[in-house]
A and B are shown apart, each in its own frame.
Chain A
Amino acid sequence: MTHRDRSLSVAGLARVEGEGAMHVRVRGGRVADVQLEIYEPPRFFEGFLRGRGHTEVPDITARICGICPVAYQLSACAAIEDACGVTVGGTVADLRRLLYCGEWIQSHALHIYLLHAPDFLGYDGAVEMARDHRWIVERGLAIKKVGNRLMEVIGGRAIHPINVRVGGLHRVPPASELRALIDPLRRALADAVSTVDWVAGFDFPQFEHDHELLALVQPGSYAIESGTPRTDRGLVFAVSDFERHIIEEQVPHSTALHARLAGRGRYLTGPLARYTLSRQWLSPVAREAADRAGLGEQCRNPFRSIVVRAVETVYAIEEALRLIAAYQPPAAPAVPVPARAAVGFGATEAPRGTLFHRYGLAADGTIATARIVPPTSQNQASIEDDLRRFVEGRLELSDHQLTHDCEQAIRNYDPCISCATHFLDLTMLREA
């Protein structure tokens, strides 16, 4: 076998959430095929939501993910409330955004420090990195802990919060509980700014993509818990039109669906898309950190997504401090959400990208239909395209080195394969 004709397989990608494999086939010195194979069995959440009551959905969908349960809860609430013609606003909406900030902080800190940074510093994982850089790992875990603490105070617990309900929350915290978070958040803000400066100094391969970028946009603020889908090439549509514009298709090599923009093709959602579309609404310290890191008006190098996540962590902490400073406990934790026969749509920005839910309700609130489109399945086609181009420029490398580089490239996207249907095996086939 020569370097012109070979196959490469990653048969177990570490430091991603879930299980999958990657196969690369090289023929005549060109990449003939790249497949990101998600072999985790289907999880049937959409199926077993049918027949349940409309108020049960947030607590069931939260179980899709142990890292981003709030995303699933709040996209579900948005869709159910839309179906029932109810709007949750005011301080309760602010508390939900604050809860979501907690999830962004802990999820981004996890990915930056424990899943992705070891790649740039040449370690097999966070445990190995911690032996040489203990205080750095401790800094990351301290940031993560503040995010988890926010989720405990507002959500009732750090993993799979239990305080979110259709119509609002079960309980609102007294102001004293939130004020107790101010000092830890201020310390985390300093740590998060240092994190941006730290990761901005990593060595990044020269590599850029040309994917259309899609994210929710909420003029005036960096979209998290609500917004309108928009792309960097001018496409704008209502959340209720999501399925007219986003086409999901089955592919033989994956138990997750592949998504594309109707009539346009592959696209990318997640931190790079959010930054490009909402940079102007970053908070002052976050924008200054982004400028200092050299991110510019947009970032198209997926390897630099670690810098964008760090900037978003700064933003989420500043936003949490802003929301806490303005907090006055509301009169009621929730509004009534009487059931009606209708279809509702909801989308929020999960840490990994846009997360869409649609539910059809019967008159008594029984779920008749359910559809969930997670970010990782939306990004699969773009990830494969990036890997194809990335490998093509590195065919002179050994299979071992190329496999390592591909695994790192996949981790750029912080793929949550568990959500999309889990872990990567890479096979590289170089053939005549």
Chain B
Amino acid sequence: MCVAYPARVRAVHDGTAQALVRGREVLVLLLGLAESPAVGDWLLVQSGIALSIMDAGQAAELEQLLDEAGWSAGSLA
């Protein structure tokens, strides 16, 4: 859906990454990124596409907002 959300990279493949979104593993498209992320990086993801690499502080801030709003992984990805 249209809400952008943080995802933490667990494995990088050719053009895609396995990433963890609020406890659920999802496949994320990396082809829009200028550089490939490393395992452990945080991504900002929308509609399954990685928009950018985020720092851990930004990701924590977004996670907190999603907690407050009661968003689950199923609602996002």
Contacts and interface: CB of A to CB of B under 8 A. Distances in A.
Is B truly associated with A? yes
Interface string B58-77: 00000000000000000100
- The B interface, classified by DSSP as helix, strand, loop or mixed, is loop
> Can you list the 3 inter-chain pairs with the closest CB atoms, starting with the nearest?
A66-B2, A141-B32, A67-B2
- Determine the main DSSP class of A at the interface with B: helix
Contacts of B75: 19
Nearest to A417: B1
B49 A18 contact: no
A110 B47 contact: yes
Interface in B6-31: 15-16, 27, 29, 31
Given A18-B1, A19-B1, A422-B1, A134 B49 contact: no
A418 B71 CA distance: 14
Interface in A108-162: 110, 114-115, 125-127, 130-131, 134, 137-138, 141, 144-145, 148, 158-159
A415 B3 CA distance: 15
Interface in B27-48: 27, 29, 31-32, 46-48
A65 B15 contact: no
Interface in A11-58: 17-19
Given A115-B47, A130-B16, A158-B51, A137 B1 contact: no
B29 A418 contact: no
A100 interface: no
B54 interface: no
Interface string A212-246: 00000000000000000000000000000000000
Contact of A127 (B4, B46, B48): B48
A255 to B, nearest CB: 15
Interface residues of A, number: 27
A19 B31 CA distance: 26
Contacts of A125: 48
A131 B27 CA distance: 13
Contacts of B1: 17-19, 66, 418, 422-423
Interface of B: 1-4, 15-16, 27, 29, 31-32, 46-49, 51, 75
A418 B1 CA distance: 8
A141 B4 contact: no
B15 A130 contact: yes
Given A66-B2, A66-B4, A127 B47 contact: no
Contacts of B51: 148, 158-159
Interface of A: 17-19, 65-67, 110, 114-115, 125-127, 130-131, 134, 137-138, 141, 144-145, 148, 158-159, 416, 418, 422-423
Contacts of B31: 130, 134, 137-138, 141
A137 B2 contact: no
Contacts of A131: 15
A17, A127, A131, A418, most chain B CB atoms within 10 A? A127
A141 B28 CA distance: 13
A68 B30 CA distance: 22
B29 A130 contact: yes
B15 A17 contact: no
Contacts of A141: 29, 31-32, 49
B2 A126 contact: no
A127 B32 contact: no
